[in-house]
Structure 1
Amino acid sequence: MRRRFGQSLRVGVAPGALALLKTSRWGGAAPELVGELAFEGGSHPEAIGVALRQLLQGGGCANWPVSIVLADELVRIWQVAPPAGSARLADLEAAAALRFQTLFGEPTGAWKLSAGWDPAQPFLAAALPRNLLALIEQVCAAQRAPIVELVPQFVAGFNQWRAALKAGAWYGLVQQRVLTLGMIDGGAIRAVRATALPEGADLDWLAAHVAREALRLNLAAPARVAVSGHAPAAWSKGATHAPLACHLLGQGQGAGWSDCARLAATGSRP
């Protein structure tokens, strides 16, 4: 596959599925679906590695820079409160590791941690499986496809749309009928929570869900939520709904695509 200036690839990695997109920084071209691959083995790293090698070989991806977007079910995302008086990165890393063990019941040895380290306010942290990362890096190196980014889907979506969020709004992402909600207060995400969408989840359901989450965290309920991904179209109707207004972000991108293709597109230009 011939590469033009400014073009790159995006790979969505989910349990049992991969998708490959071609994107460009120039000309406003929409992402182009290059290929998809379903495979046995679910979230097992070896199965993902074999499938990724097959996908990249079939796509002729040598010398193409690649961004990898991991499905959120393959990673761990949580919020960390910095210790009082912490000034060193080591203090913040220790706090993140302790919180991880408390939440997920295991040490961090098998996981690679990354975060928006901040000694002054709570920050978002993510943990990626080390064995999966190693296999992805090995496959991409063997295919001469340099990795420029490797990121969980929620983080990719938030980074893509954070500048578009109005003051006081919360951010959500819908993928495979799961809403991952980032509760924002004072300009920072205070918590992240994933919830399966029930059948018929309309704007009233979303307003009630947001109100419950705000009450649980002792935060003021937002007047607006901005949601990207495959969100129900009904959420954009009735934007004057008293409890909550919902702004759907990037609608129309990847229309008709599979869940994994939409995963790969997360974080790309609309």
Structure 2
Amino acid sequence: MGCKEMTVVDLASRRPLTSLPLDAYVPGVAHAVSADWGPSIAALAAQIGQGSGADLQVTVADEWARYWIFIVPEGVSRLEELQALAATRFEALFGVSMQGWCMLADWRATGAILVCALPEKLVNALQAAGLKGWRVRSIQPSAVRLLGAFARQIPDECWVAVYGRHGVLLARVAEGEVVHVRRHPLSKVVDVERLEDLLEAEILRLGGEAPPVLCVLGIEPPLEPDSKLAGMRLLMLQQNEEAGRTVRSEAGTLALQGVRG
């Protein structure tokens, strides 16, 4: 699901099955939390027919998501407490109520947790696809999908830049954990100079020295694999993953993210 369209892709053949514009099927799409996502999912289902038990993996553009880091306090281990504290953190960071949002995270009792939130109405509409014969295996925003797919190749100490058509997410990985995250919405794909400025600002915000590696993931990063940025060597983890792909739309590209081979 991109910012402007939804596309269903057969992951086995990597061919798009159908695509629909969001503004034609999602009333009030600009206001993601209150928008009615149901008609768009129903229209997609009508075009591709019954799932007959087929798996459905949903990747959502990061524009629809909110990201933050939650540090687990000592003595807190119950899931309900963790989620309540993470929701409080969300409200402090973004200045809006958690109501209408659905939190997704790998909850655990210690350390830093990367938490994301998607509009609850969107998640509910996607989960309802299971009623139409599909098995909804996962619903994840783009950055979470990519960080998971390439987790074994991401160094324990690095920065990660996850590109989208409408922004870039910067994450600091320390001792194998994501300890800082910030998404920068942009009107166009960020150029090298702008990315370097954003990185240097985040490094200053955190303090300390930059790690030796910057991992780059996502859609069409305009970078040379052997270059350096903010003093860090670039590691282009997807540079060999794009060959043979026939999908060019944002939503179609998102659908194939993390699909290896």
Return the TM-score normalized by structure 2: 0.84
Query: Hey, what's the Cα distance between the residues in 2 that align with 1:39 and 1:145?
Result: 21
Deviations 1:18-59 (A, max 9, x none): 0111113xxxxx622222211324355765322222223222
In the alignment, which of 9, 12, 19 is matched to residue 21 of structure 1? 9
Which residue pairs with 2:212 in the alignment? 223
In the alignment, which of 130, 134, 139 is matched to residue 120 of structure 2? 130
Deviations 1:165-189 (A, max 9, x none): 1231222211114111111112111
Aligned-partner SS, 2:93: helix
Query: Hey, what's the Cα distance between the residues in 1 that align with 2:35 and 2:131?
Result: 15
- CA displacement at 1:160 relative to structure 2: 0.8
- Between the two proteins, the alignment pairs up a number of residues equal to 250
Which residue pairs with 1:167 in the alignment? 156
- CA displacement at 1:124 relative to structure 2: 0.7
Gap runs ≥5 in structure 2: none
| Residues 1:97 and 1:164: Cα distance change in structure 2 (over 3 Å) | same
Q: CA RMSD in A?
A: 2.5
Query: Hey, what's the Cα distance between the residues in 2 that align with 1:182 and 1:244?
Result: 14
Query: Hey, what's the Cα distance between the residues in 1 that align with 2:80 and 2:36?
Result: 35
Query: Hey, what's the Cα distance between the residues in 2 that align with 1:104 and 1:80?
Result: 14
Percent of pairs identical after alignment?
22
Which residue pairs with 2:97 in the alignment? 107
Query: Hey, what's the Cα distance between the residues in 2 that align with 1:182 and 1:193?
Result: 7
Which residue pairs with 1:33 in the alignment? 16
Query: Hey, what's the Cα distance between the residues in 1 that align with 2:230 and 2:2?
Result: 37
| Residues 1:72 and 1:234: Cα distance change in structure 2 (over 3 Å) | closer
Q: Are residue 266 (structure 1) and residue 257 (structure 2) matched? A: yes
Aligned 8 A contact 1:57 1:143 in 2:
no
Gap runs ≥5 in structure 1: 1-12, 25-29
Return the TM-score normalized by structure 1: 0.81
Which residue pairs with 1:27 in the alignment? none
Aligned 8 A contact 1:157 1:267 in 2:
yes
**Where in structure 2 are the equivalents of 1:141-156 lying within 5 Å?**
141-156=130-145
